[in-house]
Amino acid sequence: MSVNAKVALLTLIGALALVNWSIFSKEQHLAEGRVVYLELAPVDPRSLLQGDYMALRFALGQAVQRALPRAETDQSRPWRQSVEAADGHVVVALDDRNIATFRDLYERQSLAEDEILLRYRVRHGRVKFATNAFYFQEGHAGVYQPARYGRFRVDGHGELLLVGLHDEQLVPLAPGEPTR
């Protein structure tokens, strides 16, 4: 076997190992992460009609947006105040149903018993948690219209994975027969 073939084989083995480790890590995160619900903010209902996904925004994101320091306003567009791209953690309190509410931006302060950290990212002036869209099978838009909460699994670093959408009473929304 030539040196190039050995290098290619080792590279392939390394890439497969990394992919499998990533899959294993996400599966552990889904299985063992703490359940947290984030309230959905109103979104453009047309996103449901555009096909097979729902654009997501979270009320918590709006609170983080208000708390973040503002970048200088673009004088050519004074109507648009931007927030610089940033990554950080927000301190949230969890109620008895694990619904998260904003407490503060994390600045290395101690956390109370009912508080945890959630990681956020600011991109293009918008605060995002894990994802900004929920994809579903074609024809199931009506199932997700009553969505009021996103259910997440949170790991020890505050990383979130979206598990599903829930209604006002935290009942999971799941497709049955397609709706049109």
pTM tops 0.85: no
**Residue 51: count of CB within 10 angstroms of its CB:** 9
**pLDDT of 151:** 95
Residue 72 pLDDT grade (very low, low, confident, very high; cuts 50, 70, 90): low
**pLDDT of 8:** 85
Question: What's the whole-number average pLDDT of the chain?
Answer: 83
**pLDDT of 179:** 44
Three-state secondary-structure class, residue 75 = coil
- Residues 108-141 have pLDDT tens digits of 999 999 999 999 999 888 899 988 888 888 778 7
Tokens for 137?
């099978």
Sequence-distant (≥ 6) Cβ neighbours of residue 54 within 8 angstroms: 43, 47, 48, 133, 134, 136, 141, 144, 147, 165
**pLDDT of 25:** 72
CA count, 13 A, side-chain hemisphere, 13: 6
Residue 54 pLDDT grade (very low, low, confident, very high; cuts 50, 70, 90): confident
- Measured at the CA of 47, the angle between CA 43 and CA 53, to 5 degrees, comes to 110
